[in-house]
């Protein structure tokens, strides 16, 4: 059941020119129990007093099953956005109202397919960061493979990219492909791909008997990838989706 609580900012840094990583702790001192893939809602008011809220996936990396004391999210700046003004300028020690966790965009214990296809753009990669401990447990079985296709315009926008690269280097069953749509790296890496995430899918040869797919991020990518996966024969029951929509 979702809970309502206050969060205090304890640390932050910029992940990219327009994305801020924020680290909170609950004001009441309690840890946050969540399942990787779930999100929180931040509650605030517009200037005219109207109540509103924004949703942010929990990016915290714990052990995959226990509550966490540090609650991490990534916030994209939206020009003129009310949430951007609140969270973009929030100082250390600043307090916000929140509720959660919510959502079912989570790895399922009943999934028996041998390969997971994780697709993301922008801050849509944050739930996969939280899933890394679970992914590690899956790979330890020896009969699973996980592929992350992460779309960005250039390498500076590959949020947590170095962390995913490092995880891939120490976990042979995990493949990370940075899909760069506008500008390649000055020094390309073996996992790099050119173009949009949904266009790189064909290289993987998705198949209904092999794959479970997760799509998170820009609605255009999610819709295009969903259509492509269905053309490859994946039933809707094997495609999980979460769209990130920017709001002012």
Radius of gyration of the CA atoms of the chain, in A: 18
Residue 233 gets the label, from left (phi > 0), alpha (psi -120 to 50) or beta, of left
The share of the chain scoring above pLDDT 70, in percent, equals 98
Tell me how far apart the alpha carbons of residues 129 and 160 are, in angstroms, rounded to a whole number.
8
Alpha-helix residue ranges (DSSP H) falling in the chain: 82-88, 126-140, 161-170, 197-204, 219-231
Q: What is the mean pLDDT of the chain?
A: 94
Whether the per-residue pLDDT at 246 is higher than 80: the answer is no
Residue 1 confidence class, pLDDT cut points 50, 70, 90: low
Instruction: Work out the average pLDDT over 115-142.
Output: 96
Query: What does the angle CA 105 – CA 109 – CA 110 come to, to the nearest 5 degrees?
Result: 105
pLDDT digits (tens, 9 = 90+) for 15-54: 999 999 999 999 999 999 999 999 999 999 998 999 999 9
Does residue 226 carry a pLDDT above 90? yes
Count of CA atoms in the C-beta half-sphere (13 A) of 219: 3
- What predicted TM-score, i.e. pTM, was given to this entire model? 0.94
Tokens matching residue 210: 């092999």
| Per-residue model confidence as pLDDT tens digits over 148-187 | 999 999 999 999 999 999 999 999 999 999 999 888 887 8
Average pLDDT score over residue span 217-223: 95
Contact present, 88 and 227 (Cβ < 8 Å): no
Cα–Cα distances (Å) from 126 to 15, 49, 163, 205, 217, in that order, read 12, 31, 12, 25, 10
Work out the pLDDT band at 106, boundaries 50, 70, 90: very high
Under 8 Å between Cβ of 43 and 55: no
- Which strands, in side-by-side order, build the sheet including 71-76? 51-57, 39-45, 95-102, 3-16, 19-26, 71-76
pLDDT tens-place string over residues 70-104: 999 999 998 888 999 999 999 999 999 999 999 99
Q: Which of these, 19, 58, 31, 65, lies nearest to 42 by C-alpha position?
A: 58
48-69 residue pLDDT tens = 999 999 999 999 999 888 999 9
| Res 194: pLDDT | 86
Q: Confidence band (pLDDT; 50, 70, 90) for 211? A: very high
Question: CA 202: distance to chain centroid?
Answer: 22
Cβ–Cβ under 8 Å, residues 121 and 218: yes
Read off the pLDDT band of 248 (50, 70, 90). Answer: low
Instruction: Note the pLDDT of residue 213.
Output: 97
What's phi and psi for 199, nearest 5 deg? Answer: -85, -15
């Amino acid at each position: 059941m979702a809970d309502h609580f206050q969060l205090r900012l304890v640390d932050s840094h910029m992940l990219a020119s327009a994305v801020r990583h924020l680290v909170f702790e609950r004001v009441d001192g309690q840890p946050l129990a969540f399942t990787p893939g779930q999100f929180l809602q931040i509650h605030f008011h517009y200037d005219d007093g109207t109540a509103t809220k924004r949703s942010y996936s929990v990016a915290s990396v714990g052990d995959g099953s226990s509550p966490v004391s540090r609650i991490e999210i990534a916030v994209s700046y939206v020009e003129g956005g009310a949430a951007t003004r609140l969270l973009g300028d929030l100082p250390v020690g600043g307090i916000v109202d929140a509720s959660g966790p919510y959502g079912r965009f989570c790895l399922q214990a009943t999934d028996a397919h041998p390969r997971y296809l994780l697709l993301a753009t922008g801050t849509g990669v944050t739930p996969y960061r939280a899933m890394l401990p679970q992914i590690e447990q899956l790979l330890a079985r020896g009969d699973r493979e996980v592929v992350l296709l992460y779309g960005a315009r250039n390498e500076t926008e590959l949020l947590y990219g170095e962390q995913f690269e490092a995880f891939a280097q120490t976990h042979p069953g995990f493949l990370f492909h940075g899909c760069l749509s506008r500008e390649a790296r000055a020094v390309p890496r073996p996992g790099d791909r050119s173009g949009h995430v949904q266009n790189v899918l064909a290289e993987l040869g998705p198949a209904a008997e092999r794959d479970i797919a997760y799509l998170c991020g820009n609605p255009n990518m999610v819709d295009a990838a969903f259509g492509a996966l269905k053309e490859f024969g994946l039933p809707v029951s094997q495609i999980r989706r979460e769209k990130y929509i920017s709001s002012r």
